[in-house]
Amino acid sequence: MRISTGCDEGPDVVERAEGQGGELVLRRDGADFEIISNGMFLMDTRDGESERLLVRLAAGGDGPPAAVLIGGLGVGFSLAEAVRLPRVQRVTVVEREPAVIAWHDTFLRACSEGALDDPRVTLERADLLDWLRSPPAGTGRYDAICLDIDNGPEWTVTPGNARLYGDAGLDLLARRLAPGGVLAVWSAGAAPAFEDLLRRRFDRVQAREVPARRGEPDVVYLARGTREAAGPTNPETAKL
């Protein structure tokens, strides 16, 4: 996802839809598309380097076959990168907005490169927090969990999403990680309070900056080595 620079003029509205977080608008600006939610700029198709890097850092390399969970379909850059990686064996994408999913059959299909048709990919239409609490049978654990749902842990699409980036949300995510797995979180800027939470919850945490077209760099947070993955359930998780 990406925060608007405010310099785009005159994009055309392609489609409007009612989403779970309010009105969703797909706009076209020249050759590019933008997605707006309740008047807030969420993402566009102009670059996507940091979204692709999110997945490469978490699931790239020459390791054993990997299962990847992607939170948020968006414009599809992260998914397209996942199916491009040689070691990725299975991908689960969780997206709550039907309109966003539908746009990948039409306007955004080129951005996701038709990856939803890949036999390794399973699409779950659900809110990620709900899905994490009650995942479908047989989904198992993931070697990489990549989150690109909001403009960052401190700038969420809807207020309820903030729970995903707190202690209880991190507990849910950690329990879905396979041993040695990586949690990767996209942010439109530095989120120091979230980084502190990660460092208390994981053994190794890295913040990777990615230059943006304007403004402060995007940041990809990487966390490995869950300290309580086999421990007791955090009582706060039940409140999510």
How does pLDDT run across 211-232, given as a tens digit for each residue? 887 778 999 999 999 765 433 3
pLDDT given for residue 9 in this prediction = 61
Domain containing 195 — which CATH number?
3.40.50.150
Within-domain flag for 21: no
Enumerate the β-bridge partners of residue 147: 71, 185
Is the pLDDT at 239 greater than 60? The verdict is no
Nearest by Cα to 14 from 113, 39, 29: 29
Within-domain flag for 16: no
Per-residue pLDDT tens over the stretch 122-171:
999 999 999 999 988 888 999 999 999 988 899 888 888 999 999 999 99
Is the pLDDT at 42 greater than 90? The verdict is no
Quick one: pLDDT band at residue 116, thresholds 50, 70, 90? very high
CA 39 vs. chain centroid, Å, equals 20
Is the pLDDT at 41 greater than 70? The verdict is yes
Domain count along the chain: 1
Within-domain flag for 162: yes
Within-domain flag for 18: no
Within-domain flag for 117: yes
Neighbour count for residue 201 (Cβ, 10 Å): 21
Within-domain flag for 1: no
Quickly list H helices, 61-213.
77-84, 98-103, 109-112, 128-133, 167-175, 192-201
Burial letters 209-225, b for 16+ CB under 10 A, else e = ebebeeeeebbbbbbbb
Do 112 and 103 meet the contact criterion of CB atoms below 8 Å apart?
Answer: no
- What's the rounded Cα separation, in Å, for the pair 19 and 58? 29
- Please tell me the pTM assigned to this model: 0.89
Return the residue matching tokens 């598309």: 33
**What domain range is 191 assigned to?**
47-239
| Mean pLDDT value across the chain | 89
Within-domain flag for 70: yes
SS3 content of the chain, % helix, strand, coil (to 5): 30, 35, 40
Per-residue pLDDT tens over the stretch 194-212:
999 999 999 999 999 998 8
Do 75 and 98 meet the contact criterion of CB atoms below 8 Å apart?
Answer: no
pLDDT given for residue 232 in this prediction = 35
Neighbour count for residue 204 (Cβ, 10 Å): 11
